[in-house]
Amino acid sequence: MSNSKRLRIAVQKSGRLSDDSIALLKAIGIKLNIRDRLLIAHSTNQPIDLLRVRDDDIPGLVMDGVVDLGFIGENELEEKMLERKAAGKPFEYEVLRRLDYGGCRLSIAVPNEMDYQGIQSLEGKKVATTYPYLLERYFKEQGINAKAVMLQGSVEVAPRAGVADAICDLVSTGATLEANGLVEKDVIFRSKAVLIKRADGELSDEKETLVNRLMPRVDGVLLAKE
Ligand code: ATP
Ligand code: ZN
């Protein structure tokens, strides 16, 4: 549990969400002294510490109450929520704000040459993905009997490698799909970055006050960019 007096915020250490998340914190007046290799960064003007980790770890850190807030993509958040729910672990959180960056979609894509007539064409097939819980939920909703094959990386080469018949991966422009002879077919989840808060108990009064003071500034920054 986070018993520190300082508000703990988890951010992706290095990746697509890092720069925008840090920029937002700075824009709301939090001065940060980030040293590249360090896990923790302390604010020099607020009682706030940043925990810089892989994005995959952020939902669990919030849900386990190790940190108070976290910046995370909804795709990763929802996947981890489903995974933790299935494993009987705490999966509660509160969304404070939906943000204006990290936009992407989780889509099913199939090889160019596949005769795809809709999701039913995947009946009995294998689909490679890093998001097996989101994908299997979609199959269930659609009444399709297909199997999600978990791959942490190189999802887009799975069909060519004979590991799966199709894929389900994050897309923003579609260039990676095209380069791998794949066509996007069904969008199963639309995602943006969100700022979340632990929901496993009350924050201390001091932390709650700080969060309540910061949120209008976040709104101000989001509004100014619209
Ligand atoms: P880490 O090393 O932290 O595990 P990662 O490789 O899992 O990093 P990134 O590629 O940096 O993660 O993506 C982080 C998040 O950015 C994604 O989960 C998603 O919410 C968002 N995102 C936005 N656009 C894209 C995209 N085109 N491809 C992948 N993720 C995207
Ligand atoms: Zn990751």
- Closest-CA residue, ligand 1 atom 8, reads 15
Q: Look at the block and give the residue holding tokens 């791959």.
A: 151
Per DSSP bridges, beta strands 40-42 and 48-53 are: antiparallel
Distance CA 23, CA 166 (A): 37
Mean pLDDT of the 66-82 span: 98
C-beta 12 within 6 A of ligand 1: yes
- Closest-CA residue, ligand 1 atom 30, reads 170
Distance CA 203, CA 161 (A): 49
Q: Mean pLDDT score of the chain, rounded to an integer?
A: 96
- pLDDT value at position 36? 84
The b/e string for 111-135 (b: 16+ C-beta within 10 A; e otherwise) is eeebebeebebbeeebbbbbbbbbb
C-beta 16 within 6 A of ligand 1: yes
Q: What residue spans of 65-164 are helical by DSSP H?
A: 74-86, 132-142
The segment(s) of the chain belonging to CATH 3.40.190.10 are 7-102+192-225, 104-191
Mean pLDDT of the 48-52 span: 97
Is 212 a residue whose pLDDT tops 90? yes
- Closest-CA residue, ligand 1 atom 17, reads 73
Q: Token digits for 98?
A: 């939906």
Compute, in angstroms, the gap from residue 55 CA to the centroid of ligand 2: 5
C-beta 159 within 6 A of ligand 1: no
User: CA torsion sign, 63 to 200 to 73 to 182?
Assistant: positive
Is 1 a residue whose pLDDT tops 60? no
- 5-23 residue pLDDT tens: 999 999 999 999 999 999 9
- Closest-CA residue, ligand 1 atom 11, reads 15
- pLDDT value at position 3? 57
Compute, in angstroms, the gap from residue 61 CA to the centroid of ligand 2: 14
Asked if residue 204 lies in contact with residue 211, where contact means CB atoms within 8 angstroms, the answer is: no
- Closest-CA residue, ligand 1 atom 1, reads 54
**CA distances for 196 relative to 50, 111, 193, angstroms:** 14, 37, 10
Nearest in space to 130 (alpha carbons), one of 85, 195, 181, 73: 73
With bands split at pLDDT 50, 70 and 90, how would you rate the model's confidence at 139? very high
Architecture of domain 104-191: 3-Layer(aba) Sandwich (3.40)
Answer whether CATH 3.40.190.10 is correct for domain 7-102+192-225.
yes
DSSP H/E element including 62: helix 58-63
C-beta 24 within 6 A of ligand 1: no
- 166-183 residue pLDDT tens: 999 999 888 999 999 999
